[in-house]
Structures are given as C-alpha cells and as structure tokens.
Chain A
C-alpha cells in the first residue's frame, strides 16, 4: 500500500517491508511482558526503533497487540510517505507545508471493515481485547491510543466542532470506562455542553487507526478546526475516509480495527487512576467522567494498538512532537515572519526552542515572549530558548553551542513570574502555576552592543557535496 495509508494494517505492511516492524510470535504474558517490551523498545535508538506486533498472548485466542507504531523518526517519516532517513527538520517543514492545505473535506463511505462483527449484549472488553497494565502503578488496564469522537450538543451540525481527540481511558469493568479530559481540552467542553442540557454525551472510541489520524487526534488544533479535515491535509490533500457509526451517527474512521459506541454518563464522576503520564510521572487519582459501552464493532481478529509511555522519550513523545511544533511555528510566524523553525518536542512543549532571524536589538526575547501567549504556549512553553537562524532547533548539539556562546545570564535570562501552566507539570507551585523563563541565545544587535561578536566560521561550499558522497558510501 502506498501512502496515505487507509488503515493501520496497510501501514504495518510498509513498516515490515522497510524493516521497521518486529513480529513477536513467542508466547508472552499480558503482564509484565507487554509493558516491559514497550519500555524496552523505547530504550533503543530513537532514529530507527521498530514497531512491535505481538501475536501470541497468554489466555487470548488470535489476539494481536501493536506497540510503538509511531515510536521513531524513521516510522514518523514513513507515516508521511517520506524516506525513513528524512531528517527531523525536513519532516517538520513537510508537516507545516501540508497544514496549508487545511481544510480538506472528508470522503463519506457506506460500509467499513469494522462492521464485520457487532456486539450489543454481554459486552466484555477484557475478553474481547488483549488489555494489559502498562506500568506497575497504573490503576488498571488502559486504552490510550484511541480516537475519541464526540460532538458539541450546542452545535451538533458544526463539523469543525466535532472532536477527534486522544484521551486516556481506564477500563474499570467489562463495559465500564473512565475517561480523562483536562479542563482546557475540547472533550471537556462537550461534556459541559451536554450536561448543561441535562444529558449524557454519545461517544465513539475508535481503536487501531491509520497513523495520520492518530497524529491528528494528538494535535492541539483550535476548537472549531476539524481533525478529519486536517487529516486530509496531512494526507497530502487526499480526503479522509469516514463512515457513520450505527448507533450514534458519529463520523468514524473507515479503517479502524475496533469501534466502541457508548455514552458519557450525565453528572457522574468516579475515581480514576493513577496512570503513568507523558510527563514521566504517575498522575494522582482524579474524579473523572465514566462511559458505558453499548456496542462493540470490530474486524475479525482485530489488532489492538496501544501506546507505552514512561520516562521520556517513549512513543508518545513522537506523537506530540512535530504536530505540537508546527502550530506554534505558524502562530509565531504570523507575528514574526523571521521565525525559521520551532522545536516544541520536549514534554509537549514545556521546553520550546525557536530559531529566528534577528531584525533588531532585543528581537529574540520579543519572539520568546510571544511564544508564551500562543494558544499552546499559554499552557506549556515554561522554558523558551531562542536561537539564531543558523542554528537548527532540532539539533540539540547546535542549541547547546548557542547557549554556550551566545547567552550572557546577566542580560539574556528573562523570567515572568506567576504564570498559568498545565497542572500535570509536577514542578508547578502551586500545581498549575509557574515562572516562565526565556533564554535569549541570539546574537545581540546594535545598540545592544556587548560581547565580542566574532565572525562565524565559514566552510567550503563543497562540504554539501561531500556530505552526500559520504552518506551514499554508508548506504
């Protein structure tokens, strides 16, 4: 199958052909083997780590578990249809260019592979799916890589407000789920809108999707931007295929492996957690909404795709890397066309690195301050490092060079106290409040004359050709 991929299976075939997938046929225990393997594959080289496909899980018949599908730059590049060696900065610019095609209307289809089997009674997710505990302190098994689809009860016909998001889902009983949504997330607005009308909220949970849809679901889009129409853009302008779910009539990915339909119960909150989160720490227990599952639709022998997360980097860090960086880049570039690239890959952008041309004195810190007031930066961007345009913000060796030689702490460390941030940052004091720090590692310009701003070392232009020759020799 050529990109864009219509389903997870098509992408796994390509990963296998590109030697980016390991099939594991030996018997494994749900715990601790699957979580342990998820951690282990994240410990490998992040440039080239493979996806894992398990086919022999103790106690299940014909169950498959896919892990680490997005978990390396090689897999990320293949998802976009690029050669697997494509540098991170090139992948960033490719994603930014495809964003310009938004919105691409969806392609509606009448039937989907996940309609092969439907259950409406005696639903038991523990028996239907190879659920497993990811980390020892988790409160139970989770579904953490699904697309959660809901509509705004106050604007049910507004396609932009249909939400496709990725939220953690604790499986608490055979058809009983806990669902986390932070106050700032779109799903919380939908829960509040439904409860404001005295009703529960219909929800579709689609598991095992094509890789672009998962990436979009994990992207901080504006509230009224359609994730499906963005998926079409990221597919290079190829419309995203959807099918209406039978019970709720919610648009659902055509290619999903498993589709759950249910309701978020009106007014109910229940203990949930802890869960090992993307910060590298367990979240505490929360009082969260619950879902009752009414229908299960699935392919025969579906692939259960799951995401391991632990102390960074793990798969989730690739899932919220460039799709976090591009919106920040676009928002900064609107104000400052001089901005060259943004790396907001560290814990969803708590650390943000911006590369920019410097128009006038003090320019770097102005760009840094703007990052704090972008929609994503308001909750993240605790530390903003600003570097010159000659520095690739995805090359940390170069960023360290800029900090080493450009930064004078007396002048270039700007702190802004008592700012809001996401409460999941364990260093907040109190939780949800932090000081922001901008490190301006750009070269000072007149009249801010200081330091010995010597001449950068230039290289022979033939170095580019030599780089190509050396890479070819290494193939």
Chain B
C-alpha cells in the first residue's frame, strides 16, 4: 500500500480550496484531488511536476485574473 500524501494548495493556482474527488477502487493506491477555483485535477501518484506547487511548470501556473478573464466560446 502506498502512503497517500495530504493535499496542500492547488499546484497550479495555489489557492487552498481543494477537495478530495476520489480514491482508487483498489484501496490505498492513490487519491484524486480537484481544485474548486481553477478546476485543476491531479492524482497523488503523478510526477511531482503535476502535484507540487513549487515544481509545477511556471508557464502553466494560473493567477486569479487569468481564471476570470478566460474568453467565452459560446
């Protein structure tokens, strides 16, 4: 069984409103987290560049202005 780390801030937008969205059907393998601000979703077993705010690629990080300013398509 893999140790499941606690979620901190969202790796992408760094806000704190993060919820656990799922746990692996085979118990203890992973959990899935979902940010309620930018809707970034990640699995606890992904590479650190997907799960750790400090390692998340800078070019994909979001600040609150970018989230509210995203263009509508329909």
Contact = CB atoms under 8 A, between A and B. Distances in A.
A270 interface: yes
B16 interface: no
A293 B39 CA distance: 17
Interface string A273-296: 110000000001111110000000
Contact of A141 (B24, B41, B49): B41
Given A61-B26, A139-B39, A271-B38, A288 B73 contact: yes
B71 A287 contact: yes
Given A288-B73, A289-B74, A31 B43 contact: yes
Contacts of B67: 271, 285
B42 A140 contact: yes
Interface size class of B (residues with CB under 8 A): 20 to 34
A126 B42 CA distance: 11
Interface stretch (A99-107, A173-181, A247-255): A173-181
B9 interface: no
Interface string A116-135: 00000000101100000100
Interface string B36-74: 001111110111011000000101101000110011111
Contacts of A286: 70-73
A92 B73 CA distance: 33
A237 B72 CA distance: 40
A59 B30 contact: yes
B46 A180 contact: no
A172 B41 contact: yes
Nearest to B26: A59
B30 A58 contact: yes
Contact of A284 (B40, B49, B70): B70
B34 interface: yes
A59 B39 contact: no
Query: In the complex, which of the residues A172, A174, A286 has the most CB atoms of chain B within 10 Å of its own CB atom?
Result: A172
A173 to B, nearest CB: 5
A140 B40 contact: yes
A218 B25 CA distance: 33
A452 B72 CA distance: 54
Contacts of B32: 126
B39 A126 contact: no
A192 B74 contact: yes
Contact of A137 (B34, B38, B60): B60
A173 B34 contact: yes
A16 B35 CA distance: 41
A31 B47 contact: yes
Interface of B: 12, 19, 21-26, 29-30, 32, 34, 38-43, 45-47, 49-50, 57, 59-60, 62, 66-67, 70-74
Given A61-B25, A285-B67, 8 more contacts: A32-B46, A124-B22, A127-B22, A183-B73, A188-B73, A272-B70, A287-B72, A288-B74
Interface of A: 29-32, 58-61, 124, 126-127, 133, 136-137, 139-141, 170-174, 178, 180-183, 187-188, 191-192, 269-274, 284-289
